[in-house]
Amino acid sequence: MTRAAERCGVAALLWLLLLGAAAAADAMGWLTRMDQALRELDYEGRFVYVHGHNVESLHLVHTVRDGHERERLTSLNDAAREVVRDDDATTCIMPDTGTVSIGPRHPHRRGGLIGLQPQHVGEAYEARVDGPGRVAGRSAVLVSLVPRDRYRYGYRLALDDVTALPLRTEVLDESGVPLVQTLFVDLRVGADVRNVPEPSPARAGRAGPELAVPALRQTRLPWDFSDLPRGFRLAMAAQRALPGDGRELQHLVFSDGVASVSIYIGAPGSHDLEGEAAVGPVNAFGAKVGEFHATALGEVPPATLKAFVAGLRRQSEAVP
């Protein structure tokens, strides 16, 4: 190879590397815009949630007033279940089971849509822009999140090219097959979006007595984790009492910027999960850890949950 040809090859390689870096930066820019849009915009629409052969239609309203978020998610299927969230709490009205439950807001969900922390995404995923698309009659930009290892699923997003709201989201298994899909069929953004009302007293009354979820209490973490899957960070550590038997559970939430894993640790009980289980798209794994029992669950592969439980260690100074 001549020196001129060698210089040409090096220049071409540098050009490809620069193009790749620019594409990744562009993808991260879209993800940052999406995160901001989900938190700051008023939006309303109907979307479908698909998992396997199950299809659910939902209506979502999200508003921001004086810096405070409020959203209402209503099932349009047979049982008109309703979830209302604000900055502090989640209220669930479930007429089909006759209960109303009130508890803390889940830190990693937004109206059934994907939520993420853009600053942490790059460690666990490769983000890329795949090109233009069209969803719900709106032009979109297609963005993929490709996992860097086997401990998380992949994602395909179609973001509105004006607002960056996620018009379609797909969670992909290791073979690229969708496990879960959400798809807006219509969407309104801005001044036409109505305020989110308080849960209807009449509906709450028909649903039956209120069931209060025990409050989370922030607590010091008496556990260590070794060999955590790449990119996962502790997002929450709290403690709550189980209703009925008085047992105390430690509740930990880890996030890799997109996916989250919840871990519940406490004294062994008669109904503890042993081994693997799945409820819809959520996997779970339970096992004894010394004198305690731990259950891990999340929309992640079972290997991830096993790694969390296997790496769980009681801090020596916290042992009674």
Q: What is the pLDDT of residues 291-319, one digit of tens each?
A: 999 999 999 999 999 999 999 988 764 44
The residue with tokens 């690229």 is 176
Q: How far apart are CA 65 and CA 193, in angstroms?
A: 12
Please tell me the predicted confidence (pLDDT) of residue 221. 67
Alpha-carbon gap, residue 120 to 145, rounded angstroms: 12
pLDDT at 219 over 70: no
SS3 string, 224-256, reads: EECCCCCCCEEEEEEEEECCCCCCEEEEEEEEC
Q: What is the pLDDT of residues 257-287, one digit of tens each?
A: 999 999 999 888 878 899 999 988 899 999 9
This prediction has a pTM of 0.80
Burial call 150-185: b when 16+ CB within 10 Å, e when fewer: ebbbbbbbbbbeebbbbbbbbbbeeeeebbbbbbbe
Rg (CA), the chain: 22
